[in-house]
Amino acid sequence: MDVDSFWKLIEECRGQECGRAGRLAWLRGELARRPVEEIAAFQVCDRRCQEGFTWDLWCAAERIFGGWCSDDGFCYFRLWAVGLGRTTFARAVRDPDTLAEAPEVQSLMGRPRRSWGDDWPEWEQLDYVAATAHEQVTGAPYDNRVFYEAVAALRIGDEMVRDPRGEHWDMRDEREATYKLPRLSSAFPITTQP
């Protein structure tokens, strides 16, 4: 599975009208129909998420979340952004404020965060779907090292990025946030509201 095949599968998944859990089940089923090498390659391709490992996108996540986003939360936010599709994800990596145009983000605007429920912008399970598909195909337990060794072998030469790219800035600084993320700053004001 190459990058184009990865994104094609994400787009097909995105087109499923069955909610996040249903889309995940659909994706797991699609992966389970493929050779185990392709399943491992899907996991490798999900490194697309690393392209979004920037301070600007992290600040956008913090803005949407109301002022704070943990390391794990940002990882799951990036996986969710991958789930928005190739075009939306690429635009968000270049200019995170373009997330304000995504229907999934627009549906959150003006709603109290406590009401977001399944609409919360994170998709942690996307990080595990290949491993569970591998388990389904091989019968090997989820924590089987064979899958992770196959993924590691495909990642040879990949550089592990430890710090976000770009310049760290404080999205709580309203002046800077309004300059860098004008639409998201307007749509998601920092409040004490949960």
Q: What residues are paired with 90 via a beta bridge? A: none
Half-sphere exposure of 23 (CA within 13 A, CB side): 18
> What pLDDT, on the 0 to 100 scale, is given for residue 194?
44
Q: How far apart are CA 66 and CA 171, in angstroms?
A: 10
pLDDT at residue 12 is higher than 90: yes
Q: How confident is the prediction for the chain on average, in pLDDT?
A: 89
Which tokens hold the place of 61? 């996540």
Burial class for 5, CB neighbours closer than 10 Å (0-12, 13-18, 19+): middle
> What pLDDT, on the 0 to 100 scale, is given for residue 4?
92
Please give the single-letter amino acid code of residue 149: E
45 contact partners, CB below 8 Å, separation of at least 6? 1, 2, 3, 5, 6
Quick one: what percent of the chain has pLDDT higher than 90? 68
pTM of the model: 0.90
Q: How far apart are CA 100 and CA 193, in angstroms?
A: 20
- 101-110 pLDDT, tens digit per residue, is 999 999 999 9
